Each structure stands twice: as structure tokens, then as C-alpha cells.
Amino acid sequence: MSTAVVTVNRSLFPRLNLRQKTLLIIGFTSLLLLAIVVSSLFVDGDSLPTDFSSRNLAPSFEHPFGTDWMGRDMFTRTLEGLGLSIVIGAFASLISAVLTVILGLLSSAGKAADSFVSWLVDLSLSIPHLLLIILISIGLGGGAAGVITGVALTHWTSLTRVVRAEIKQLKAQEYIHISRNLGKSKWWIATKHILPHLIPQIILGTILLFPHAILHEASVTFLGFGLSPHEPAIGIILSESMRYLSAGYWWLAFFPGLSLLIVVLAFDMIGENLGKLMDPKNAHE
Amino acid sequence: MSDNAKISGFIGKKVLRLISLLLVVSFVSFMLVQYSPIDPVRAYLGEMSVSAEHKAKLEEYWGVNTPPKEKFLNWAGSLLKGDFGDSLIYRMPVTDVIKERFTASLALMASSWLISGVLGFILGIASGMYKGTLFDRAIKTYCYVLTATPTFWLALVLLMVFSVQLGWFPIGLSVPIGVTAENVTFFDRIEHLILPALTLSILGVAQIAMFTREKLIEVMSSDYVLFAKARGEKGLDLVLRHGIRNVALPAITLQFLSFSELFGGTVLVEQVFSYPGIGQATVAAGLRSDVPLLLGVVLVSAVFVFSGNLIADIIYEFIDPRMKQQESTT
């Protein structure tokens, strides 16, 4: 889907072939995301002085994203929020991926286990995701733990479906039949034959889970069920900005949301391009 | 298998599915809310301070001290009789709250669902027809960016541009403030509906457009399209005759499967525009621990999503002729 980006690069780097460009895109976006996380770690709450003489300033060179009603620099707050979003997204996606591996391998164990897994998938798809995250978050008393668990427990379904289909296809392969006839145990086949095939899929799937995880975290926090109002999360910043909308302080909402969009797009881009590299069907393009 | 047997088998399976689904959903969501460490009375009161006596009264009203097992049986028992209990914050039966709120949301969801479906389909067909051109790339980039856009942020931006800066639309609510219910005109309602519906439509377009585009490209590279081209068919006629027929059904199915996301989007959009629909009621119920209302909403939304999936299944099983053909060959 990122051909638009690739074409831009075509004119910028005429000497590189597509594979090198893809690698370049991955490198750049990863660097950008890494820079956001690292810089958000160095910027802590102390560097956000509440300066009432410079409150509600429109964007300028000194404050690129403007300042809020307490005179805090919105750029710093946004940076912190993005770092937080990425970290939470990482936790949630990783937990989701672990769940996927467990359930995927379980579904290959037998017919009953398989129908149990597909029943679980159907079940968690039957309630709107947002509502389920809200419920889980309430159940765990909100906060970071609530959001991470909520997002992790709702996002494994799509990846599990992919993994299940992949396992089904693998199990029909001849070398697995041969292995079985040679008397290898189920566990041996699962770890030595099936798992290696799944690893690229799972890594890719985990990266592609990121955007959804980040967006859902921000949404739930925005509604008031997620991180506590003291955290500098993007959802909190945006829900605070709603109070100042009619006053015309558009920068309070515009820039933080736009930055979130860019981060999400960057993850999408990494995922897509990695997929291109890993999928042998596309390798000739 | 005769058609009748097939239909009754299908219905039986679906009814069983729905019942088991509702049982599990109600049990799990009840447990989640019940064992939440959040003190419902505290959540309701917020920062207000009250006397111990008053607090005890509230605790009784909220049922804090009733044992969970008894509470669940009471709730489930009256649920079977069609009684969802009373909403604690609106102080009226949950069924009434949901009925009122859901009707308001339904107008929002239905309009944006239709608009995004039709618009997405047309865009997808157009971009698939002109694959590789600048137009196609523009559509693709548009869809790509939209899937990464936070719903509530888009809602905020639209609100800022059209309501605050331009003043074309009211800032919130589904009816003007200070006007009695009889005096609210149809036009007023529409005016308050446009921006929320627009937000949801803009976002909903992305998925369906991308899907339609991929499908159309797949169909256009098939043998029968090649043959049609050899017969001299071309341009829009070719797409209308061979493309759209094959793409429409999967696209409609996909649109029905999107009920879950539609509901999630509605919750966010209603919150931004303070549109008094089911989403706003959900958030209020969640934040202020209105357990009966929250559980009611969960069950209703589960049925809502289920019906979307059911319609998609029906299309697959009974309407799509290719499905029948596949069955007879295997």
C-alpha cells in the first residue's frame, strides 16, 4: 500500500533498487520511532514548568505546538504522550502475540482444542472491541495495567486466524507426514517443523498489531477509562483540549492528534515494507 | 439436503449460537464489573464529600454489600423475564434508556453506514478501474492515512473547523438547547446529525474502498474478463457487466461485518459531539459504575454485532450462487 511513498523515493534516490529503498524506508521510520521513545524518556515532568505568563500561546518558533492553559509547552507534552503510547502499544502487542502463539499451537493439537480456539475467537469478536476494552479496564480498575490487558485481550483474534490457517496448511505438507511416519512426537513436529514457519508471520503480525493497539489505547484513555489524568497520554491531552475548543485554541487538539496519526502510519509503513521483504511472492516486484 | 432442511438447520445453529453467546457474555461482563476494584459509590460521588449515613444509604442503593452470587442470580433471573433492572444514574428502567438512546444512535449509525458503503464502493471501483494512475494513487493514499486516523481526533478537527471557526453547525447535542421536545423540528435533528455522521462516513470509506479495489483488480485479471475484452467489450460497460456483479456481494458482506467497528466509532464520535446516543450512555454508565445499564448495553451491542454477522452469513449461504455451486461439486 505504500507505493506512494516508494515513488517519492524513486526520484530522490535514483540509483537504489526497490529492495534497498524498502530497507531504507524501514530504517528511517524505525529511527524516527526510536528517537521519539528515547527523547520521551529524557524529557520528564520537571522540564515542564508551569509558566502562567505564557499560557494559551499559539504555535510559534519557541513553542512549535503552542502552549496549554498552564503555560506548558505542548510539543514536550506530545512527545511524552507519544513515547507512552508506543511503550503501551509494545506491551499490548507482545502479550497479544504470546497469546496467539499459545492458542495457535493449541489449535494444532487436536480437533476439540481447535474448535475451542475458534469458539474463543468468535466470542471475542462478538462484542465491539472498544466496549470490551472498557469492560476489562473497569474490571482491572483502570490505569496502565487495565488498558494493556484490555488491548492485549482483544487484539489476538486476527493474528490467531492467520496462524491457524497457516498451521492447517502446513500440516498437510508431505514432510510433516513423513516426520510423523518416522515416529516423531507431536511436540517435536510442532516445535521443529511448524514453529519456524510461523515466526516470520508472527513478527510481522505483531508489528501490524501496533497501530491498532496504539489507536485503541488512545481512544479508551480519551473516554476516561484508561490511563489516569496525571499521565501525559495523548488521549488525556485530547480530552483536556475539548474544554478549550470553543475558545478557539485549535492547536491543543490538532498537533497531538496529528503526531499520533504519523506514529501510527510509521508503524503501518514498517509492517507493510517488512511484509514485502519477507513474502517471496512479492520478492520479484 | 433439501432447502427446507438446510434453512431450519441454519436457523437452529444460529439460535443456539446466540443463546450460548449471550450466556457467556453476560456472565463474563458481570464478573468483570463485579470484581472491579473501583468503588461504585466513590465513582458516583466524585469529589463530593458526604456523611457516613448518606454513604451507607447510597451503598445500599448500589447494592455494594449484596453477595455477588445472589446479585448475579437476581440480575440474570429478572433478565430472563425481559427486565434489565433500573439504571442507577438515569433513574429509569434500563430498557427505556437503551430504547431511547439506541434510536438516536441508529439514525447516526445507519446514515454513516450507508454513505460510507456507497461512497467506498464507488471509490473502490473507480480506483480499481484506473489502476496505477494518479487518481488510483490518491485514493490509496487517502485510505491509507484514514486507517491510521484516530476517530475522535477527526471528530475534534471537524468540530473545530465547521462549528467553532465557520459556525455552520451547532457544537453538540442532538437538539437545540432550551427548546421543548415538541418544538424540535426535523431540520434541527438533521443539522445536529451531519457532523457526527460525516466523521463516521469519512473513516468508514477506507476499508470498503480498499477491499473493493483489490477485488475488482482480481476480477479484471480473470480469464472471463480477458475473453470479454477479446469480444470487444471495454471501458465502463465491461466493468459494469462483469466487474460490479462479482464485487458487490463480497463488499456488501464486508460492510455488514463492520458493525462492531461502527459501534466503537459511534461511542467515540458521540462523546466528542455530546450526541445523546447509546455511546454516550455507555461512557457515562462506565465512568459512574451504573452496572445494570452497562451490562444492558453490552448485551444489546452483542446482539447488534451478531445480527450484522448473521446477515453476512445469510448472504454467503443463501444468496451467493457460487457458494451453492461449490457445495454441489464437493
- Among A82, A116, A223, A270, most B C-beta atoms within 10 A, so best to mutate, is A223
Contact residues on chain B for A222, CB-CB shorter than 8 A:
152, 268, 271
pLDDT for position B118: 92
Question: Which pLDDT value is given to residue A44?
Answer: 61
In chain B, % of residues over pLDDT 90: 3
Residue A65 contacts residue A255 (beta carbons within 8 Å) = yes
Binary contact (B164, A245; C-beta < 8 A):
yes
pLDDT at B208 over 50: yes
Q: What is the mean pLDDT of residues A76-102?
A: 86
Select from B296, B245, B243, B273 the least CA-distant residue to B112.
Answer: B273
Confidence of residue B19 (pLDDT cuts 50, 70, 90): confident
For cell 484514514, what's the residue? Answer: B146
Q: What is the pLDDT of residue B326?
A: 53
Supply the pLDDT for residue A3: 46
Please report which confidence band the pLDDT of residue B87 belongs to, taking 50, 70 and 90 as the band edges. Answer: confident
**Mind listing the pLDDT tens digit for each residue in A213-258?**
888 888 888 888 877 777 778 888 888 777 777 666 777 778 888 8
B193: pLDDT strictly greater than 50? yes
Q: What mean pLDDT is predicted for residues B54-58?
A: 69
CA-based nearest residue in chain A for residue B20: A123
Give the distance from residue A225's alpha carbon to the nearest chain B alpha carbon, in angstroms. 7
Inspect the interface and report whether the beta carbons of B298 and A130 lie closer than 8 Å. no
Mark yes or no for CB contact B263/A128 under 8 Å: yes
Task: Please tell me which residue of chain A has the smallest CA distance to B35.
Answer: A139
Comparison of pLDDT for A278 and B300, the residue scoring more: B300
The per-residue pLDDT for B235 is: 75
Summarised one tens digit per residue, pLDDT across range B223-261 is 888 888 888 877 777 778 788 878 888 888 888 888 888
Q: Is A75 left (phi over 0), alpha (psi -120 to 50) or beta?
A: alpha
> Judged by CB atoms within 8 Å, which residues 233-262 of A form the interface with B?
238, 241-242, 245-246, 248, 250, 253-254, 257-258, 260-261
Q: Does A150 touch chain B (CB under 8 A)?
A: no
H, E, C per residue of chain B: CCHHHHHHHHHHHHHHHHHHHHHHHHHHHHHHHHCCCCCHHHHHHCCCCCCHHHHHHHHHHHCCCCCHHHHHHHHHHHHHCCCCCECCCCCCEHHHHHHHHHHHHHHHHHHHHHHHHHHHHHHHHHHHHCCCCHHHHHHHHHHHHHHCCCHHHHHHHHHHHHHHHCCCCCCCCCCCCCCCHHHCCHHHHHHHHHHHHHHHHHHHHHHHHHHHHHHHHHHHCCHHHHHHHHCCCCHHHHHHHHHHHHHHHHHHHHHHHCHHHHHHHHHHHHHHHCCCCHHHHHHHHHHCCCHHHHHHHHHHHHHHHHHHHHHHHHHHHHHCHHHHHHHHHC
Structure-derived torsion over alpha carbons of residues B18, B22, B25, B27, reported in degrees to the nearest 10: -140
From A128, A250, A268, residue closest to B305, measured CB to CB:
A128
CA-based nearest distance A126→chain B, Å:
6
**Confidence grade of residue B100 (pLDDT, cut at 50, 70, 90):** confident
Q: Measuring CA to CA, how many Å separate A5 from each of A267, B205, B217? A: 14, 21, 21
CA distance B237 to B125: 13
A2 — pLDDT class (breaks 50, 70, 90): very low
**Mean pLDDT over residues B284-291, rounded?**
81
Preferred mutation among B21, B152, B280 to probe A, highest tally of A CBs within 10 A: B152
pLDDT beyond 50 at A117 = yes
B interface mutation test: which of A219, A228, A237, A264 has the most B CBs within 10 A? A219
For B153-184, how does the pLDDT look when each residue is reduced to its tens digit (9 = 90+)? 888 888 878 877 676 666 655 455 555 555 55
pLDDT at A1: 43
Residue of B248, B255, B243 whose CA lies nearest to B312 = B255
> ipTM beyond 0.90?
no
Per-residue confidence (pLDDT) for residue B184, from 0 to 100: 57
Question: pLDDT tens digits, residue range B65-86?
Answer: 666 777 777 777 777 777 777 7
* Confidence (pLDDT) at A151: 87
Taking contacts as CB-CB distances below 8 angstroms, the residues of chain B near A141 are 36-38
In this complex, the residue of B29, B259, B260 whose CB is nearest that of residue A135 is: B29
Asked if pLDDT for residue B315 goes beyond 50, the answer is yes
Query: Looking at the predicted structure, is the pLDDT value of residue B103 above 50?
Result: yes
CB–CB of B33 and A138 under 8 A? yes
